[in-house]
Structure 1
Amino acid sequence: MTTTSAFLYRDGSRGEAVLLDELMPDLGAGTFAWVILDDPTTADMVPLANAFGLHPLAVEDAIDPSHGPKVEFYEEQLLVIAKVARLEKETLRYRQVAVFIGPHHVIVAQHGQALGSEALRASVEAAPELLKRGTGYALYSILDQIVGSYLPVIEAVEDHVLDTEKHMLTAPLDHAQIAALFGLRRQLILFQRILNPFSDAASKLVDANIPNIDEQAVPYFQDIAYQIMRVENMVDGLWDVVTSVFEVNNLLEQQRQGEINRKLAAWAAIIAVPTAISGIYGMNFANMPELATRFGYPAVLVLMLGISLFLFMRFRQSGWL
């Protein structure tokens, strides 16, 4: 079910609530309407499209929760689509936020309570000096909230990877841990597919002659672009760490298998000596070494034990045992 909240803002402060049917394209200097819709439908967007002349293609993109991040210009209208990231039960989930910006309106169409209506308003209203400058600065504050959702996700994933890395150095990773790392690597790929178009969109906000964003606002959007680039670098770094964990785990596993093979080979060599000698004496030939000697049998036992001890010490010194 769609929930909607709409308020007028004058000189950076929230004013009275308004109905969508009451909205007008020209609200006067220093005044704009900020509308937030949760899980909007085409019918929900009709009064807003009529009031502010929203482009039909922009409306279509905004109500599609699977649309990728982008920036589009429609004369005096600006549409920005971005994704909020959340870590839910060790899985990255994305919620879409579409923001329409005009001279006298800010329309946020979000899916799955991506940012929360009141929480978003409260966060943006915490900087009234920015809000009073116009709708472009409201867009900056909203994008700042979206980019801010990425950092806790990155930190949580980073902690998980580092814990796995520490465990790997003490014991080999089991099947469940390896499967979890593969899943994490796949999620990082999907995250990169979200960040790359978002980074391109942020670059448009910096470089283009954009409606409703004045020159004084450009440094703010440069900050957004920098934050996205920073997150991209962090994701790339995590990708490298996850890949190195796989490689090091394989090397350690090969090393452990090599140690086991060396130990088996060493013990096989040690056991082969008494086995070979006792096998010869077990053939029951009439003429055999030391059969007529009084201490022949003990001497052979001492010989087998001595050779075995000698081999054991040599293998021990070489690190095979």
Structure 2
Amino acid sequence: MIVDCAIYRDGTRTDGPADFSDALAEARATGDAFLWIGLHEPTEKEFELVSSEFGLHPLAVEDALTAHQRPKLEAYDDALTVVLKPVFYDEATDSVSTGELMVFLGDSFVVTVRHGRGAGLGVVRQRLEKEPEVLRHGPAAVLYAVSDAVVDAYVEVAAELQTDLEGLEADVFAPNGADAGTAARIYSFKRQVLEFRRASNPLTMPMTRLAGMGVPFVPERSRPFFRDVADHLARANESVDGLDRLLSDALAAHLAQMGVRQNDDMRKISAWAAMAAVPTMVAGIYGMNFEHMPELRQWWGYPAALLVMGGAVVALFRLFKRRGWL
């Protein structure tokens, strides 16, 4: 559905015709105005009304309707298409999810199409309307504001994930932290980081192109804004890459701890087995009841055998205890 539609003239929002075609014609006639239409998960019929008025390329229209696109920048004859992947952090479940946002830039118009959950672009629009000097840059100002909001959210989500990682590391390196559930938590965390990277890393190339030269519908005076966004994006990507490396190290440390604990358990089992084997051996020998065993007919024979077995067990116990096996 259409969330908002307005004409911006000389950096100020103004009332315009309700019809798209008339509003676009009025914006182009003045020369210092542009039309901004915001849509949320439009149906094919709803978006066809918009695309036909602005002459959007069929491939761009298909991308906008199907969603599930990677962050990218495509330049067509009549419009520039930019795909963004907003990232959201759910504090209740400590999980990361993504949405999709497409921005169409053309001659005196900009169309934003949002898919998925999360806050809309109303906050971005309100903030931009308070900065007329930025809005005077035309449709490129909207692309900058939307991109800046998405990338700033990347930085915030990366900070939240860093906090979660610190808690996970504390559990991994706790005295009794190495258990089977920890590996599942680390793997789940890595999946979230991977989802984050799929949203942030591919956006590097589009932001680099927007900050450079040769991109249609983006005036030269607007490029410094996109360089600022590219700088923030680089910082977010560095944070995500650092999280991924730390998670790999935490997983390796966890597996090493599990191996150490298994070795400790095996040493303990071996020590107790050895202590049980000596009395079993002595008892087995005496159980054969050979006739020529002098102590069999002596009153001290049975106590002596018990004493030998007990002494051997105590000696082995002290030996294993001193070596740290028990």
Using the size of structure 2 for normalisation, the TM-score is 0.85
Take 2:177 and 2:75, find their aligned partners in 1: how far apart are those partners?
Answer: 55
Tell me which moved more, 146-155 or 197-206.
146-155
Take 1:97 and 1:115, find their aligned partners in 2: how far apart are those partners?
Answer: 12
Give unmatched runs, 5+ long, in structure 1.
none
Take 2:180 and 2:286, find their aligned partners in 1: how far apart are those partners?
Answer: 48
Give unmatched runs, 5+ long, in structure 2.
none
Structure 2 partner of 1:206: 211
Question: Once superposed, which parts of structure 1, at least 4 consecutive aligned residues long, lie more than 6 Å away?
Answer: none
1:241 matched to 2:246:
yes
Give the counterpart letter for 2:213 in structure 1. A
Contact 2:70–2:199 (8 Å) recurs in 1: yes
Structure 2 partner of 1:83: 85
**What is the CA distance between 1:130 and its match in structure 2?**
1.4
Change (3 A) 1:64 1:222: same
Task: Please state whether the residue corresponding to 2:99 is helix, strand or coil.
Answer: strand
1:145 matched to 2:149:
yes
1:311 matched to 2:310:
no
Tell me which moved more, 162-171 or 197-206.
162-171
**What is the CA distance between 1:31 and its match in structure 2?**
2.2
Take 1:136 and 1:264, find their aligned partners in 2: how far apart are those partners?
Answer: 70
Tell me which moved more, 282-291 or 30-39.
282-291
Structure 2 partner of 1:64: 66
Mapping of residues 1-321 of structure 1, within 5 Å: 2-16=1-15, 18-21=17-20, 22-25=22-25, 26-75=28-77, 77-88=79-90, 89-112=93-116, 115-169=119-173, 170-175=176-181, 177-321=182-326
Contact 1:20–1:47 (8 Å) recurs in 2: no
Task: Please state whether the residue corresponding to 1:24 is helix, strand or coil.
Answer: helix
Task: Please state whether the residue corresponding to 1:23 is helix, strand or coil.
Answer: helix
Change (3 A) 1:291 1:61: closer
Give the counterpart letter for 1:308 in structure 2. V
* RMSD of equivalent CA atoms: 2.7
Contact 1:23–1:51 (8 Å) recurs in 2: no
Give the counterpart letter for 1:127 in structure 2. E
Contact 1:102–1:135 (8 Å) recurs in 2: yes
Overall identity of the aligned pairs, in %: 32
**What is the CA distance between 1:6 and its match in structure 2?**
0.9
Tell me which moved more, 106-115 or 95-104.
106-115
Take 2:314 and 2:117, find their aligned partners in 1: how far apart are those partners?
Answer: 73
Contact 1:97–1:110 (8 Å) recurs in 2: yes
Change (3 A) 1:125 1:305: same
